[in-house]
């Protein structure tokens, strides 16, 4: 059996999409493509069956990966019968470019290359036109805002030779964009050379009799392909560059080398059965350095630079699998062979490490996880929510037509319950049962659509990092962790740990869903509850639930199998130790931990000395696994909340948990707070979530509850590790950032020895919260800086002017006066008057009224208005203020001029006389 030493893991990420239309010139009556044509095609597609829309618009059946020497990996996919091409950088910070073609493109006739910072994509269409797309790599950068002349992106040409001899496979010569080679259906080869001046290709044929041979074979040869009469058995289905040669493999398993200078070919002696290969063009020959390999049947052959076969190796366990792709490279004196195999829509990756002496070791991807089946409606909702929106729409359409589960998924609960009411009231049991059945059918549809969409359509195997391109995404291959290897190889009779895993796995497969649901509920309740009685009693309670569901025969077989495991509890400890140190798939760890816990419960339940094991030690081992179970449960929930269908423990830590909570919407983050501890960092995070939900009172209690942690603990959770002052200061900043300034003031005020930066922050929070008591004390007594006092004065004058009069502003009277006088506040004169009166500056108060009077006068028109009456009232107010002064002090200065009581009385009299004259004129 091949060892499973690595795993396939999806590469997540969303990409901003840019769309372009290929500007088509009408050649041979082909349809001119416009935005209207594309929109009509989209509308027609949307009107089709939902499943058909999903498979054509969102699932690619053809594509390839391209590895740029300087810009990383790119995927090229084709949608809607190859009318749409989508180019995406594997990196998360790349844009996705989607191009609409006037017609479909031929399979296997797209070549991707690069030159001078430009990605070249050359394709042959269904009408045998050559389409060239040239995209600058800078276009894919997410932050790139440069405007391009897109007419330079696209070019097309027609070639009679391609049209007459029918293309089969397009590849690059030596990885260059200016030289391509095209395999023809009649067995010929055509070289395409791009001209520097105009970008068009010049074609030339390799020297061989393929064309005449293909004509002769149609009429006289019995050795032909009945189902594909246009395809010659000499047609080349795989080719690669090797030094100054082109190596090719044809349908009839002929291996040839072609001299790229003379374009002539020579057959290489090859001892094979000469049976016909699959006509699908796949990689059957590839080179690295001075060696190349070929594949036919079930064997890989290794060749040197003299075209001599060095050794061969049969590929194990391929059965009915067919080759999809193959790559070959040299690494640290060894050969590495990577292969992808297909069977229907399933695929598997196999890798081999080969020594120079021919010793070869094969390994493959781990098998798909045998996950816990969904047990409740919530489990099903959680499972299906991880599928894409287009897939869910297609699944819902299929379910509504063929699901047979009624409308229980989409209808309102009140409507559903009316369907489940009998003489004794609502039938909640029947409703819940039908809900689970409906969700089960729906998830089954989702799984099938996902399976169809996950077929491998391309791969990048030549680099150190392997990528698999599927119909809807990209996966990467990573080494398996020790924990994952244990899970994947649990059926191999090997180490003591493998025997334990095999025993546990065989037993737990016999448990019913009900038993698993109950035991998971009990364990999750246990990890969330505060310890209130012994763990042994808790285990006994769990067993009361579990033992009823365990078949007696399975129970007996489990303990019979345990007899074959040496030092049973030591082996359980070893498994826990692997979980301590080995990170990897969350789901793998979760399932293994759950199975171990169930087994330990059964061991603990064994009466008397039947097991001969120390029950106290069983409890200790159980607690160890329960601690792991807590971590795996939290990690699994985190992965779900983030929409990660496949999560790894490498990406999870308690600090990471806090980061996840900070990013999630408040309602989803609140679901995870049940996993938090009661220490200060955990309470801190819970408080933040409550703040985001608007629960400031509850949040305040969270921030102050719990024992204050050590500096090491604070540092572990990303909090400042310099004592309580730093904690309160940091908390105030975070809370203020969420807009809760009043609460931020409370925390900032808890800092016993604040520095200037902390005081300034507290002052800012207080101003934002309109807490002028704290702001005044901070500015006057603590900061003692003129700029802060000025900021406070302006803020109070703007928002709560009457409060300004209640503060003494000792030694800052001139500053307050100057700021109010120079401000542009609409009520500045009234406020200035009130401020000066409160400070017994009557001359200044009269001056403020007089300046307001002058301002009002400037806005009066010719007619009678309320403003003239208001001016008269201002004169009266000024006279009243001056009358409070002694005779010699009844004056003020405005705009550099002294105004006495007599001057104001005269102005007042003249103003009133003018108002009387105007009134008389109106009455006439």
The position carrying tokens 């969700």 is 439
DSSP 42-105: HHHHHHS-HHHHIIIII--SEEEEEEETTTEEEEEEEETTTTEEEEEESSTTB-EEEEE-SS-E
Contacts of residue 702, Cβ cutoff 8 Å, sequence gap at least 6: 683, 684, 686, 687, 690
Residues 924, 913: Cα–Cα separation, whole Å: 17
Q: How much is the pLDDT for 410?
A: 46
> Residue 770 class from Cβ within 10 Å (0-12 exposed, 13-18 middle, 19+ buried)?
middle
Other residues' Cβ atoms within 10 Å of the Cβ of residue 526? 17
**Residue 31 predicted with pLDDT over 60:** no
Categorize the per-residue pLDDT at 87 as very low, low, confident or very high, splitting at 50, 70 and 90: very high
State whether residue 153 is helix, strand or coil.
Answer: helix
Q: Full-prediction pTM beyond 0.85?
A: no
Residues 675, 695: Cα–Cα separation, whole Å: 19
SS3 letters for 700-756?
HHHHHCCCCCCHHHHHHCCCCCCCHHHHHHHHHHHHHHCCCHHHHHHHHHCCCCCCH
Mean pLDDT over 459-476 rounds to 84
Residue 287's DSSP bridge partners are: 292
Domain residue extents for the chain = 106-364, 377-453, 481-651
Helix H or strand E segment including 131: strand 129-136
Output the CA–CA distances (angstroms, integers) from residue 105 to 238, 372, 891, in the order listed.
19, 43, 95
Instruction: For 221-239, give one letter per residue: b (16+ CB within 10 A) or e.
Output: eeebbeeeeebbbbbbbbb
Residues 665, 676: Cα–Cα separation, whole Å: 17
Count of all residues that appear for the chain in the document? 924
Residues 221, 574: Cα–Cα separation, whole Å: 67
The position carrying tokens 């003020």 is 892
Contacts of residue 576, Cβ cutoff 8 Å, sequence gap at least 6: 596, 621, 624, 625, 628
Q: How much is the pLDDT for 256?
A: 92
Residues 331, 479: Cα–Cα separation, whole Å: 17
Query: Are 631 and 647 spatial neighbours (Cβ–Cβ below 8 Å)?
Result: no
Could you tell me if residue 295 is left (phi over 0), alpha (psi between -120 and 50 degrees) or otherwise beta?
beta
Output the CA–CA distances (angstroms, integers) from residue 518 to 443, 521, 635, in the order listed.
22, 5, 21
106-364: CATH topology: Methylamine Dehydrogenase; Chain H (2.130.10)
Categorize the per-residue pLDDT at 240 as very low, low, confident or very high, splitting at 50, 70 and 90: very high
**Residue 42 predicted with pLDDT over 70:** no
Mean pLDDT over 877-881 rounds to 91
Categorize the per-residue pLDDT at 180 as very low, low, confident or very high, splitting at 50, 70 and 90: very high
Phi, psi values for residue 841, rounded to 5° = -100, 80
Query: Are 166 and 228 spatial neighbours (Cβ–Cβ below 8 Å)?
Result: no
Q: How much is the pLDDT for 778?
A: 93
Residues 327, 163: Cα–Cα separation, whole Å: 31
More confident: 72 or 607 = 72
Phi, psi values for residue 296, rounded to 5° = -155, 150
Helix H or strand E segment including 258: strand 255-259
Query: Are 354 and 360 spatial neighbours (Cβ–Cβ below 8 Å)?
Result: yes
Q: How much is the pLDDT for 609?
A: 47
**Residue 172 predicted with pLDDT over 90:** yes
Other residues' Cβ atoms within 10 Å of the Cβ of residue 673? 15
Categorize the per-residue pLDDT at 760 as very low, low, confident or very high, splitting at 50, 70 and 90: very high
Query: Are β-strands 891-894 and 474-479 bridged in parallel, bridged antiparallel, or unpaired?
Result: unpaired
Q: How much is the pLDDT for 111?
A: 95
- What percent of the chain is predicted at pLDDT more than 90? 22
Q: Which of these, 204, 234, 240, 420, lies nearest to 328 by C-alpha position? A: 240
Of 17-31, 296-310, 459-473, 661-675, least confident by mean pLDDT is 17-31
Categorize the per-residue pLDDT at 113 as very low, low, confident or very high, splitting at 50, 70 and 90: very high
pLDDT digits (tens, 9 = 90+) for 285-309: 999 888 999 998 888 999 998 889 8
pLDDT digits (tens, 9 = 90+) for 688-735: 888 888 888 888 888 776 555 555 555 555 555 556 787 788 888 888
Residues 34, 23: Cα–Cα separation, whole Å: 8
What is the average pLDDT value for the chain, to the nearest integer? 81
User: What would the two tokens of residue 530 be?
Assistant: 């505060």
Categorize the per-residue pLDDT at 406 as very low, low, confident or very high, splitting at 50, 70 and 90: very low
Could you tell me if residue 571 is left (phi over 0), alpha (psi between -120 and 50 degrees) or otherwise beta?
alpha
């Amino acid at each position: 059996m091949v060892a499973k030493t690595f795993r396939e893991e999806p590469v997540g990420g969303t990409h901003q999409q840019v769309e372009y239309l290929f500007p088509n010139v009408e050649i041979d009556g082909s349809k001119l493509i416009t935005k209207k044509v594309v929109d009509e095609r989209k509308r027609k597609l949307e009107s089709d069956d939902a499943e058909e829309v999903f498979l054509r618009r969102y699932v690619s059946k053809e594509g390839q990966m391209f590895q740029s020497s300087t810009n990383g990996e790119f995927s090229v996919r084709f949608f809607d019968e190859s009318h749409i091409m989508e180019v995406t950088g594997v990196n998360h910070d790349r844009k996705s470019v989607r191009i609409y073609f006037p017609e479909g493109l031929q399979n296997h006739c797209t070549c991707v290359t690069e030159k001078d910072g430009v990605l070249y994509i050359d394709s042959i269409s269904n009408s045998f036109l050559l389409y060239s797309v040239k995209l600058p790599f800078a276009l894919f950068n997410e932050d790139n805002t440069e405007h391009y002349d897109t007419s330079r992106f696209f070019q097309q040409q027609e070639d009679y030779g391609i049209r007459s001899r029918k293309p089969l496979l397009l590849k690059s010569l030596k990885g260059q964009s200016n030289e391509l080679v095209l395999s023809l259906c009649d067995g010929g080869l055509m070289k395409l050379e791009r001209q520097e001046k105009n970008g068009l290709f010049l074609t030339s044929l390799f020297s061989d009799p393929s064309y005449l041979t293909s004509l002769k074979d149609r009429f006289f040869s019995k050795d032909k392909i009945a189902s594909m009469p246009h395809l010659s058995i000499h047609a080349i289905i795989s080719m690669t560059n090797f030094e100054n040669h082109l190596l090719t493999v044809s349908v009839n398993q002929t291996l040839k080398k072609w001299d790229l200078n003379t374009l002539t070919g020579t057959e290489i002696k090859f001892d094979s059965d000469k049976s016909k290969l699959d006509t699908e063009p796949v990689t059957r020959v590839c080179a690295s350095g001075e060696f190349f390999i070929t594949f036919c049947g079930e064997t890989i052959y290794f060749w040197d630079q003299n075209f001599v076969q060095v050794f061969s190796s049969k590929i194990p366990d391929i059965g009915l699998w067919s080759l999809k792709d193959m790559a070959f490279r040299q690494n640290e004196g060894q050969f590495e062979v990577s292969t992808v195999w297909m069977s229907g829509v399933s695929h598997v990756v196999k890798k081999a490490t080969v020594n120079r002496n021919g010793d070869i070791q094969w390994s493959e991807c781990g098998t798909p996880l045998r996950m816990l089946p969904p047990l409740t409606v919530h489990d099903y909702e959680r499972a299906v929510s991880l599928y894409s929106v287009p897939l869910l729409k297609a699944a819902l359409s299929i379910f509504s037509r063929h699901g047979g589960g009624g409308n229980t998924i989409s209808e309102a609960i009140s409507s559903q319950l009316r369907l489940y009411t009998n003489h004794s009231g609502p039938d909640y049991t029947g409703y819940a049962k039908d809900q689970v059945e409906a969700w089960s059918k729906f998830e089954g549809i989702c799984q099938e659509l996902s399976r169809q969409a996950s077929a491998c359509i391309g791969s990048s195997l030549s680099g150190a990092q392997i990528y698999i391109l599927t119909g809807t995404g990209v996966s990467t291959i990573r080494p398996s962790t020790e924990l994952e290897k244990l899970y994947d190889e649990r059926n191999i009779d090997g180490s003591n740990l493998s025997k334990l895993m095999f025993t546990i796995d065989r037993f737990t497969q016999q448990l019913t869903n009900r038993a698993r649901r109950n035991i998971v509920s009990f364990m999750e309740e246990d990890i969330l509850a505060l310890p209130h009685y012994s763990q042994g009693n808790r285990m006994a309670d769990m067993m009361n639930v579990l033992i009823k569901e365990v078949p007696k025969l399975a129970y007996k077989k489990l303990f019979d199998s345990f007899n074959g495991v040496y030092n049973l509890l030591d082996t359980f400890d070893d498994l826990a130790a692997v979980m301590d140190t080995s990170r990897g798939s969350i789901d793998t760890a979760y399932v293994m931990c759950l199975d171990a816990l169930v087994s330990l419960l059964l061991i603990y339940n064994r009466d008397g000395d039947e097991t001969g094991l120390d029950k106290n030690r069983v409890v200790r081992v159980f607690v160890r696994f329960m601690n792991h179970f807590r971590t795996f449960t939290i990690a699994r929930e985190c992965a779900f909340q983030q929409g990660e269908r496949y999560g790894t423990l490498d990406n999870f830590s308690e600090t990471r948990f806090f980061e996840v909570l900070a990013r999630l919407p408040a309602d989803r983050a609140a679901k995870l707070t049940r996993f938090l501890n009661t220490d200060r960092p955990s309470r801190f995070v819970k408080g933040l979530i409550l703040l985001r939900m608007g629960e400031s009172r509850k949040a305040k209690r969270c921030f102050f509850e719990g024992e204050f942690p050590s500096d090491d603990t604070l540092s572990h959770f990303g909090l400042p590790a310099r004592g309580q002052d730093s904690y309160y200061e940091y908390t105030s900043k975070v809370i203020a950032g969420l807009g809760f300034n009043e609460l931020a003031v409370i925390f900032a005020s808890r800092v016993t020895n604040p520095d200037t930066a902390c005081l300034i922050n507290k002052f800012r929070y207080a101003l934002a919260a309109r807490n002028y008591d704290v702001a005044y004390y901070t500015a006057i007594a603590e900061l003692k800086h003129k700029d802060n006092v000025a900021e406070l004065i302006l803020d109070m004058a703007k928002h709560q002017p009457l409060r300004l009069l209640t503060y003494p502003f000792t030694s800052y009277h001139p500053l307050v006066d100057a700021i109010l006088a120079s401000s542009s506040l609409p009520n500045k004169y009234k406020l200035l008057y009130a401020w000066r009166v409160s400070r017994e500056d009557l001359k200044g108060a009269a001056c403020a009224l007089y300046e307001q009077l002058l301002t009002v006068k400037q806005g009066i028109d010719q007619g009678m208005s309320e403003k003239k009456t208001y001016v008269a009232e201002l004169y009266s107010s000024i006279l009243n203020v001056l009358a409070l002064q002694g005779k010699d002090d009844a004056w003020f200065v405005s705009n550099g001029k002294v105004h006495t009581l007599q001057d104001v009385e005269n102005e007042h009299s003249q103003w009133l006389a003018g108002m009387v004259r105007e009134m008389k004129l109106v009455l006439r």
